[in-house]
Amino acid sequence: MATETRKKMNIPITKPALGEDEARAPYESIKSGWVTQGPKVAEFERAVASYVGARHGIATTSCTTGLHLALASIGVGRGDEVIVPSFTFIASANAVLYTGADVIFCDIDARTFNVDPSDVEKRITKRTKAILPIDQIGLACDISAINDIAKRHGVEVVEDAAPAIGESFNGRRVGSNAHQTVFSFHPRKVITTGEGGMIMTDDDALAARARRLRAHGMSVSDLERHGSDRVIIEEYDELGFNYRMTDIQASIGLVQLRRLDELLRVRRAKAKRYDQELSEIRGLQVPFVPAYAEHTYQSYCLRLTKDCRLDREELMTKLLHRGIATRRGVMASHLEKTYTSRYGR
């Protein structure tokens, strides 16, 4: 037991930027009777698609279900392999297992914590169906290199951009650079709908299939039926899921999206201050941001070098007793029991 007296937590790991406008936003949806997926979800999808420069947004209940839906929509299933960085939140790999496919872990670039394209190419086999790169902690991966590899080998790309809405790659917003990109609206992200996610794509046919699979495989949406002047009997041609965002959530998301650029400006300014204050401390390595990216700073991730006088847990404990919350940067998913029990170490 540490001998230091723990102070009251005054710097949490995150705090959603929610205000009075967000608190009032669901009122219209509640009064209208559209509390599940309806017109506000459709409006939110269009707004996000317009912001990132994609043709389609398909809102989901989370980034995890969005990743599953994106993989299912391109036919990933039993017998296939999907390449995923091992250094990532476990949901990225879990989404692959949900399809029945196998996870093939690859290595990262130690500077960016993002996928190492050269290692990805080494992992491709005849069974590879897709590559699932992550924009780690809000920093865009080298999606151009990943797209080139995918094109050479005839495989799909599903970009896990959970923390990266508002991030750019070579001046193009994340969400417009891969066949499919998936965002998260969890409270740790820059903008939130409580829980929620969204798939971005320019592929009309893929978007239509994802929307069907999102709603149990239903051939027509509730919004279309309610707006029609004729009776429509829906059909179910394939097994789908219930991954529908609600209008209550989307109404909050619309307010948050209008604030996104300002929220990013504030985060980046704070990160710059941290860089200035921490970069001269021996044993600490501040985040590296390549010239092609900007970073959303979902988190400010420090790396401890061999010169640091404390190990990770010691430093986290000292910060905790000063009222500062921290978390391990990212997990090594391949070392979690879910994966060691399947694939070994």
**Residue 57, beta-bridge partner list:** 200
Contact between 186 and 152 (Cβ < 8 Å): no
Measured in degrees and rounded to the nearest 5, phi and psi for residue 117 equal -55, -35
Question: Around Cβ 53, how many Cβ atoms within 10 Å?
Answer: 14
CB hemisphere CA count around 162 (13 angstroms): 26
Cα separation of 63 and 183, whole Å? 6
Q: What one-character DSSP code corresponds to residue 286?
A: P
Cα separation of 7 and 198, whole Å? 38
3-state secondary structure of 311: coil
* E strand residue ranges, the chain: 56-60, 81-85, 102-106, 128-131, 156-160, 168-169, 172-173, 180-184, 197-201, 284-285, 303-304
Cα separation of 194 and 117, whole Å? 33
User: Residues 8, 40, 189, 318: which is the catalytic one?
Assistant: 189
Contact between 55 and 49 (Cβ < 8 Å): yes
189 is a catalytic site residue: yes
Q: Which residues are catalytic?
A: 189
